[in-house]
Amino acid sequence: MEDLKAIVRARYGENHPISGDYDKELAVKCINGTFVGVKTDDIIAYKGIPFVGEQPAGKNRFKKPVPFGKDEGVYEAYHFAKGSLQPESPDDAGALAVTGEDCLYLNIWKNTADLSAKKPVMVWIHGGGFTQGSTVNPLYDGYNFVRDNGEVILVTIAYRVGGLGFIHLKHLPDGADYPDAQNLGILDQMMALKWVHENIAAFGGDPDNVTIFGESAGGCSVTLLPLIPEARGYFHRVIAQSGTPNYTSSTEQAIAATDLLMKELGCKTVADLLACPPEKIADVAGTILALEDWPERDGELIPLDPYDAYLKGEARDIDFIEGCNKDEMGQFACFMTPEGFTDYFIMRRERKFAQMSPEDVEKLKAFLDNTPGNQYHKTFKLGDQLYFICPAFRISENRTAVGGKTYHYFFRVETSKPHFLSGHAAELPAVFNNPQDIFFSGRPYDDTFNHTIQRMWVNFAKNGDPSLTEEDSPTGQAIQWEPYNSEAKPVMIFDEFNVHQSTEADYGIVDWEKTYPLTKYFIF
């Protein structure tokens, strides 16, 4: 961990104002300043660009992001900025970064060898369960991505996480002045997308062709943002990797999480929280609110039932790629050990039983009874279904029912890490093709496979269709990806040496009778 921590922390640096000469070819004039990047071969990287007028520290803690304004200054964009405050964790390289409240920055990569005008823009939103992660993670470095796909511009954005990004405060005695605290991280993402919309043309990007994509919490984010009218004007397509509205809380759950945090901190008011060191808030929240401290389905910014909102036709004109991995729970089993994983998720399962009708509890018990293996295997497979597989298919089903276009995938490549299999985040090394970073995969994947996924993502960003022709396919073979429909249920299967179109039924991916109906409980 210490070696990885040193690598991640070495990527951080302070960007300073420039008062003297600078390379005009590396400079881009934006609304809030002129930013000077660093060129390596044909790739220019602009790192640590602020997308807010003031950072969310001090008086701005628990407040919505401050809009960026005009600035005639010239600034370095040489280094990654700080990540959002969070406990250090060996489970996510981004959680080993230099962190602080002053964390709302973005990064941009463009390939100068490709002279295409108005390039499609791809904006990455990182994962981490809304409690950890950062753009500093070497896994998300965009150099290789734009080197091999020069016709797009890649952007990675930061947002507040954990107790500083998602905390319900309105019920506290002095909470009325903090009406947005429960969804600050989502509001940060919206501000970053606004900055991209208003500035990316200066980098050669097309503000009218923006695809947002993300994994885990980032995947959840990109399925929530289309349901927010104010956000919809900033992007045009969505790629959701192992993330759905399942990772959200009801208002009642959010209040309970806040009350638990307040008790642990010895705080009774927002004033008490403001007097508390932000590092302590982040550390305590990260310790006691894991898998609890999430965006709130408040009925204001985020619908009370996001799945129902899709079924009613919200965002039907925004095309999606949606999918997940074969053994999602493998990441948790790897990091927690099988024994720790089993104990923890049985505890969560039992707690969720109390929220469910007797009939639905029987569905769960029937699924467990019919799943071979010991408690570990049963718990693992139930988690795959409830937390990832069924919610992803519900997005595709609901959008298809009202005329929305979604391309569905199922990733099956197994890592070399113990117990990980094709676990949560296993697809990330393929999407970014950083073969030196094997944090999740344990091994480099086949290079042709990586490029195949990248070309599908890029083709989708360019024209809304991820299919490959013989000319643009890394294998030289065309791959037609059919949009999802509720009858045939076509699915793109990502096997390392056999990417192919199939159907859900061919692989028996979903238990439509026992687990799919339980997505109504937002059961994570």
Active site residues: 216
What is d(CA 316, CA 406) in angstroms, rounded to the nearest whole number?
A: 10
Residue 458 sits at φ, ψ, to 5 deg, of -70, -45
Compute the chain's Rg from CA coordinates.
22
What is d(CA 94, CA 59) in angstroms, rounded to the nearest whole number?
A: 26
What is d(CA 67, CA 502) in angstroms, rounded to the nearest whole number?
A: 46
Across-strand partners of 503? 490
What number of other Cβ atoms are within 10 A of residue 264's Cβ? 14
Q: Is 454 in contact with 148 (CB distance < 8 Å)?
A: yes
Q: What is the 3-state secondary structure (H, E, C) of 72-91?
A: CCEEECCCECCEECCCCCCC
Query: Which amino acid is residue 336, in one-letter code?
Result: M
Q: Is 103 in contact with 12 (CB distance < 8 Å)?
A: no
What is d(CA 179, CA 77) in angstroms, rounded to the nearest whole number?
A: 33
Q: H helices then E strands: how many in the chain?
A: 17, 16
What is d(CA 306, CA 69) in angstroms, rounded to the nearest whole number?
A: 33
Q: Which of 86, 146, 152 is nearest to 116 (CA)?
A: 152
**In 335-354, which positions are buried (b, 16+ CB within 10 angstroms) versus exposed (e)?**
bbebeebbeebeeebeebee
Query: Which amino acid is residue 416, in one-letter code?
Result: S
